[in-house]
């Protein structure tokens, strides 16, 4: 029994002594294994780094060259953009200049057209006045009767037309005014009213002329209505009232389709439509 206890004690002492050594030995093995694993990982990382450094040495010049080319292209593009913008600005300035010239030409064309219309109007007006005078001269001789009888009325009318043709408009206005106020039923009363308006028109007193031309329509059966209608349009046009001028010319188209002034009214509307 005592021998067995001694043996057991020896066994326990042996275990106590050897156990730390065994533990240390096992730990040393694990440590070595872990160390080898870490060294292997370090070697792999080193290989990867070396590979990246090698790739960088190959790719860096290409990247730098590509970057320089991109910078150069950007600079060229910016330069081209600046040139294009300058050209656009130049073209814009030229367009603005042409637009201004076009407006000036349109204004000049309208002014020339108005002057041509006035010249043509004077020619037509004088022609009409001479025609009327010729018709009157071919009639019965004028006798020295009272001032407002038919013969005197005709004589005063012819004298007033003569004043008009000689551009003595004030004397013509006096004569035609007396005729209109003396006998509005006379066959020449509507003509007198028309030529009275023509006198003011020739003096460029367009506002007064418009009022007198409008009175022509008060005479029933007058043959001067289309003449007066045309002159209303021309008077408003000369005053610069293009809207009213269009309206008056349009009335010739609407109400006087058979008038000799119909083509002239259409042409005037066509000209005024561009302004």
Q: What angle do CA 173, 179, 185 make, to 5 degrees?
A: 140
pLDDT (mean) for 157-170: 96
All residues at 6 or more sequence positions from 224 whose CB lies less than 8 Å from its CB, including other chains: 190, 191, 193, 194, 216
Per-residue model confidence (pLDDT) at position 162: 96
Q: Tell me phi and psi for residue 184, to 5 degrees.
A: -75, -5
User: To the nearest whole number, what is the mean pLDDT of the chain?
Assistant: 78
Maximum alpha-carbon separation in the chain:
195
Are 175 and 156 within 8 A, CB to CB?
yes
Query: Token match 């509507």: residue?
Result: 190
Per-residue model confidence (pLDDT) at position 23: 47
Distances (CA, A) of 211 to 55, 157, 197: 100, 21, 8
All residues at 6 or more sequence positions from 208 whose CB lies less than 8 Å from its CB, including other chains: 200
Per-residue model confidence (pLDDT) at position 214: 97
pTM above 0.75, yes or no: no
Torsion (CA) 199, 214, 127, 254 in degrees, nearest 10? 150
pLDDT (mean) for 31-48: 75
* pLDDT of residue 83 exceeding 90: no
Per-residue model confidence (pLDDT) at position 145: 45
pLDDT (mean) for 150-160: 93
Core vs surface per residue 132-150: b (16+ CB within 10 A) or e: bbeebeeeeebeeeeeeee
Are 225 and 255 within 8 A, CB to CB?
no
Are 193 and 212 within 8 A, CB to CB?
yes
Per-residue model confidence (pLDDT) at position 204: 96
Percent of the chain with pLDDT over 90: 43
The DSSP H or E segment spanning 186 is none
Could you read off the pLDDT of 168-212 as tens digits, one per residue?
999 999 999 999 999 989 999 999 999 999 999 999 999 999 999
Which of 252, 242, 244, 248 is CA-nearest to residue 272?
Answer: 242
Distances (CA, A) of 247 to 72, 162, 252, 270: 67, 33, 9, 13
* pLDDT of residue 60 exceeding 70: no
């Amino acid at each position: 029994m005592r021998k067995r206890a001694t043996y057991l004690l020896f066994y326990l002492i042996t275990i106590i002594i050897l156990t730390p050594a065994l533990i240390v030995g096992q730990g040393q093995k694990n440590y070595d294994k872990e160390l080898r694993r870490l060294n292997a990982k370090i070697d792999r990382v080193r290989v990867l780094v070396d590979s990246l450094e090698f790739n960088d040495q190959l790719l860096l010049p290409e990247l730098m060259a590509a970057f320089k080319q991109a910078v150069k292209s950007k600079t060229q593009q910016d330069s081209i953009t600046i040139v294009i913008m300058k050209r656009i600005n130049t073209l814009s300035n030229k367009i603005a200049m042409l637009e201004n010239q076009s407006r000036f030409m349109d204004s000049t064309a309208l002014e020339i057209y108005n002057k041509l219309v006035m010249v043509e109007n004077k020619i037509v007006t004088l022609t009409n006045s001479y025609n009327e005078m010729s018709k009157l001269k071919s009639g019965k001789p004028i006798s020295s009767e009272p001032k407002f009888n038919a013969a005197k009325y005709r004589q005063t009318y012819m004298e007033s037309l003569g004043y008009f043709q000689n551009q003595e408009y004030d004397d013509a206005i006096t004569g035609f005014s007396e005729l209109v106020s003396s006998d509005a039923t006379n066959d020449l009363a509507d003509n007198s009213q028309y030529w009275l308006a023509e006198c003011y028109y020739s003096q460029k007193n367009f506002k007064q002329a418009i009022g007198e031309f409008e009175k022509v329509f008060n005479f029933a059966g007058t043959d001067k209505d289309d003449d007066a209608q045309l002159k209303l349009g021309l008077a408003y046009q000369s005053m610069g009232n293009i809207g009213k001028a269009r309206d008056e010319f349009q009335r010739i188209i609407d109400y006087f389709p058979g008038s000799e002034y119909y083509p002239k009214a259409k042409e005037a509307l066509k000209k005024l439509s561009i302004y």
